[in-house]
Amino acid sequence: MAHYVIGDVQGCFDELQLLLKKIDFNYGCDTLWLTGDIVNRGPKSLATIRFVMLHDDCIQTVLGNHDLHLLAVAFGEGRVRKGDTIDDILQAIDKKILLDWLRRQPLMIRKDKYLLVHAGLLPQWSANEALSLASDVEIAISGSAYRKVFANMYGNKPARYRPELQGMDRLRLIMNVMTRMRIITDRNKLDFDFKSTYEDIPEGLCAWFDAKNRRHIDHTVIFGHWSALGLYQKNNVICLDTGALWGGALTALNLDSGEIIQVPSLNGGIPLK
C-alpha cells in the first residue's frame, strides 16, 4: 500500500492517467491526495471531475480556487471568465451530482504530520486552528446556505486575518488564504497581485512559508497553486504544482518513499526535472 500526492490537474485528464499508470497506482490498495484545482483551464475538466468522484474511496482532493469558481458559476453566483474550460461540466447530464459532490470536499486534510491545502496557511495558525477554520468553510458550502457563500466569495478584502472577523468576511478570508495565497507582508497581510517566481518576490514581501514563527512548522504542508514556484521542498513545505497546464509536468510524490514521479505535459513545453 502506497500513499501518493499529485499536484494541480486543472482538467489535464490525459496526463493524470499517464501519471497514475507510471506509478502503477493500485485502486484497491493505494491512496491518493490531489492538491485541488482538479478542473478548469485544461482540456478535459468533465472527465477529470467524473474520474475523481468515481474513485473517491481511494482519491481525496481539497478544494482549490478554480474548483470554488466552478461552484459559484454553476449556482449562478459567478461569471464564466476568459480562458475557463468548465462549459462541459455546466452542460453535463450529471451536473447536479458532480457539483453536490464537489461542494462536500474539504478545504484542508491532515494525516499524521502532513497537512494538505491548495495554496497555504497563515503563519499564525497552528495545524489545529487551521483545520477548525477550514471546517467552518466546509460546513458553510456543504450546507443549505451555500448559495450565499458563493454570492459573496469573490473579493480581496479583508486581506489580514483577525480572530474577531465574522460572517462572510471571515469565510472569504479563510478561502482566500487556503486557495489563493502566495506571498504576504511582514504583518501577514495577503498580496493578491504577485504570480511570478520565488526569485521575483518584491522587497518587503515574502512567501507565506518563509514567514517567521510559523505555528504549524511541526507539520509538513503540501500544496499546489503556485505553478511559477514549481517543485519546491524545503522547511517542511512541499509544492507540487509544476505547471502541467502550461507545458511543464504533472508531478506525483510518494509520501512513503519521498520519490518524485513526473510525466510531461501533452500541451508541449519542456518537462521539469
Most distant pair of Cα atoms in the chain: their distance = 50
Full pLDDT tens readout for the chain, 273 residues: 999 999 999 999 999 999 999 999 999 899 999 999 999 999 999 999 999 999 999 999 999 999 999 999 999 999 999 999 999 999 999 999 999 999 999 999 999 999 999 999 999 999 999 999 999 999 999 999 999 999 999 999 999 999 999 999 999 999 999 999 999 999 999 999 999 999 999 999 999 999 999 999 999 999 999 999 999 999 999 999 999 999 999 999 999 999 999 999 997 543 433
Residue at 77: amino acid letter: E
Q: Tell me which H or E stretch contains 54.
A: helix 45-54
The residue range of the domain holding 38 is: 3-264
pTM of the model: 0.96
d(CA 232, CA 272): 12
b/e per residue 35-45 (b: at least 16 CB within 10 A)? bbbbbbbbbbb
> Angle CA(129)–CA(153)–CA(221) in degrees, nearest 5?
35
Domain total in the chain: 1
Place of cell 526569485: 199
**Domain presence at residue 67:** yes
**Domain presence at residue 105:** yes
CATH at residue 99:
3.60.21.10
**Domain presence at residue 272:** no
**Domain presence at residue 75:** yes
